[in-house]
Amino acid sequence: MITYKAHIIDTPTPQAFRIIENGYVTVSDEGRVVYAGSQLPATAGELVDFGDRLLIPAFNDLHLHAPQYRNNGLAMDLELLPWLERYTFPEEMKFADTDYARRIYTRFVHELWMQGTMRSAVFATIHPEATCVLADLFRKAGLGAYVGLVAMDRNAPNGLCNTAKEAFAAVSVLDDELGRDGIVRAIVTPRFIPSCSEEMLTTLGRLAKERNLPVQSHLSENRHEIDWVHELEPDATCYGDAYNRYGLFGQTPTLMAHCCYTNDEEMRLMRENGVCIVHCPTSNSNLASGMAPVRRFLDNGIRVALGTDVSGGHYMSMLRVIQYAVQTSKMHFAQSRGSIPFLSLSEAFYLATKSGGSFFGRVGSFEPGYDFDALVIDDSYLNFDRYTLPERIGRFIYIGDDRDIRVRFCQGRELPEPPLVV
């Protein structure tokens, strides 16, 4: 048992920040929150005083591509489909070389740690060895992750295609290797419908069902992509239905990134099947994809998380994604002449913490029973003139960065800085 004292800030509900000035969080030996409040509990164990610092839940990035890390901040002059062909597929092909993969993935995992992202749902590539290296780096760093061996067998260069059989075998091996006890696990990852034949989708649906594995993919991101899916899957009632037919749409816990053009039919399917949408506003802006109607998703009772979508998104900071989510929703507000309410800062923070965290269990809040995934924030550089605590969390989200993060906890463990070089 251990108790931390600081200004505690989290979002048990999206409507408002819960702010406990000079509060306490008590954490069990298993790394779970047993108490958060303003009184020092009778059984508190050792007391660690963080003074005037903020203690907030760590971030959860529910959609990003580890092998695109080198392309961050590059290649933003094309829309999705030519962008994949011209910049992304050539970079991902390099991960056939496991030494190259280890070098890039080492930096990638370091950056997740640096940005305070303790849990993530990650696309790797089709390469089993490189993907094992990535999973291993996560385990060594103590970070939680769903690691996706990507499946694709059409409309890509030969070097980036695997067969349904290979994908089935490789994901099974990764799942056996990682098991279900730790915080690094396998996830079934069809890249998107244009990359996956009927045989591939059938096989992955069977794999997800047989092993009860979660699923992640892309959905309704770009207009040209959607037209193409209608040509490829003419019988599907909507893009989402093309996954649903194969048992890849909520039959097991499912993440679908983007959803810029999700229509009523697709929304109905997502609600009925409990599919979680991953909103990636920086990527949707960089690739000129569009603006996802997040308010409509929330009003329809659909779970929404946030993702950086590196390298469609240019930067791995979830702070910037929270900020962009609010700003994008304000463009929607303006476009709708004020009829679509924009996201509040606490709502966007909730999406990046408790909502995304729910994909990993009880993660993303300081309520009792939640894993203690937390960041200690020293905002003294920003707090030069007696700002209030609501002002301080707002300023940290908008203009703070990783330099203000002093301590990182995942499941109660303080995580040391992982290596930057192999």
Binding site residues, ligand GUN, CB under 6 A: 65, 80, 84, 88, 191-192, 218, 221, 283, 309, 312
Q: How far is the CB of 117 from ligand GUN (least distance, A)?
A: 18
| Residues 252-291: x where in contact with Fe ion by CB under 5 A, - otherwise, as a string | ----------------------------------------
Residue found under tokens 């590059």: 74
What ranges in 192-317 are assigned the alpha helix state H?
198-211, 223-232, 239-244, 264-273, 281-286, 294-299
Q: How far is the CB of 350 from ligand GUN (least distance, A)?
A: 24
Q: Toward ligand GUN, which CB reaches closer, 138 or 192? A: 192
Cα 15 to the center of its chain, rounded Å: 21
Q: Toward ligand GUN, which CB reaches closer, 221 or 266? A: 221
Q: How far is the CB of 192 from ligand GUN (least distance, A)?
A: 4
- What's the CA gap between 347 and 350, in Å, rounded? 5
Instruction: Look at residues 407, 385, 308, 286 and name the one whose alpha carbon lies nearest to residue 2.
Output: 407
Q: Toward Fe ion, which CB reaches closer, 60 or 365? A: 60
Which residue number is nearest to Fe ion in terms of Cβ?
309
- What's the CA gap between 394 and 391, in Å, rounded? 5
Q: Toward ligand GUN, which CB reaches closer, 5 or 191? A: 191
Q: Toward Fe ion, which CB reaches closer, 307 or 364? A: 307
Instruction: Look at residues 406, 416, 355 and name the one whose alpha carbon lies nearest to residue 109.
Output: 416
Check binding of 91 to Fe ion (CB under 5 A): no
Whether the Cβ atoms of residue 393 and residue 19 lie closer than 8 Å to each other = yes
Q: How far is the CB of 280 from Fe ion (least distance, A)?
A: 7
Instruction: Beginning with the edge strand found earlier in the chain, give each strand of the sheet holding 18-27 in spatial order.
Output: 33-37, 18-27, 2-10, 46-57, 374-377, 405-410, 413-414
Q: How far is the CB of 91 from Fe ion (least distance, A)?
A: 13
Q: What is the DSSP string of 333-344?
A: HHHTTT-SPPPP
Instruction: Look at residues 207, 184, 194 and name the one whose alpha carbon lies nearest to residue 133.
Output: 184
Q: How far is the CB of 74 from Fe ion (least distance, A)?
A: 16
Check binding of 225 to Fe ion (CB under 5 A): no
Which residue number is nearest to ligand GUN in terms of Cβ?
312
Mark 75-94 as b/e (b = at least 16 C-beta within 10 Å).
bbeeebbebbeebbbebbbb
Q: Toward ligand GUN, which CB reaches closer, 159 or 341? A: 159
Q: How far is the CB of 208 from ligand GUN (least distance, A)?
A: 19
Check binding of 111 to Fe ion (CB under 5 A): no
| Residues 152-191: x where in contact with Fe ion by CB under 5 A, - otherwise, as a string | ----------------------------------------
Check binding of 61 to Fe ion (CB under 5 A): no
The interface partner of residue 53, options being ligand GUN, Fe ion, none and the CB cut-off 5 to 8 Å by kind, is none
| Residues 295-314: x where in contact with Fe ion by CB under 5 A, - otherwise, as a string | --------------x-----
The interface partner of residue 88, options being ligand GUN, Fe ion, none and the CB cut-off 5 to 8 Å by kind, is ligand GUN
Instruction: Look at residues 251, 248, 326 and name the one whose alpha carbon lies nearest to residue 291.
Output: 326
- Distances in Å between the alpha carbon of 334 and those of 154, 191, 222, 337, 342? 40, 34, 22, 5, 9
- What's the CA gap between 340 and 333, in Å, rounded? 5
- What's the CA gap between 170 and 190, in Å, rounded? 13
The interface partner of residue 80, options being ligand GUN, Fe ion, none and the CB cut-off 5 to 8 Å by kind, is ligand GUN
Q: How far is the CB of 221 from ligand GUN (least distance, A)?
A: 5
Strand partners, 5: 24, 49
Q: How far is the CB of 68 from Fe ion (least distance, A)?
A: 8
Q: Toward ligand GUN, which CB reaches closer, 203 or 282? A: 282
Instruction: Look at residues 59, 62, 143, 57 and name the one whose alpha carbon lies nearest to residue 310.
Output: 62
State which amino acid sits at residue 226.
I
Residue ranges that bind Fe ion, judged by CB under 5 A: 309
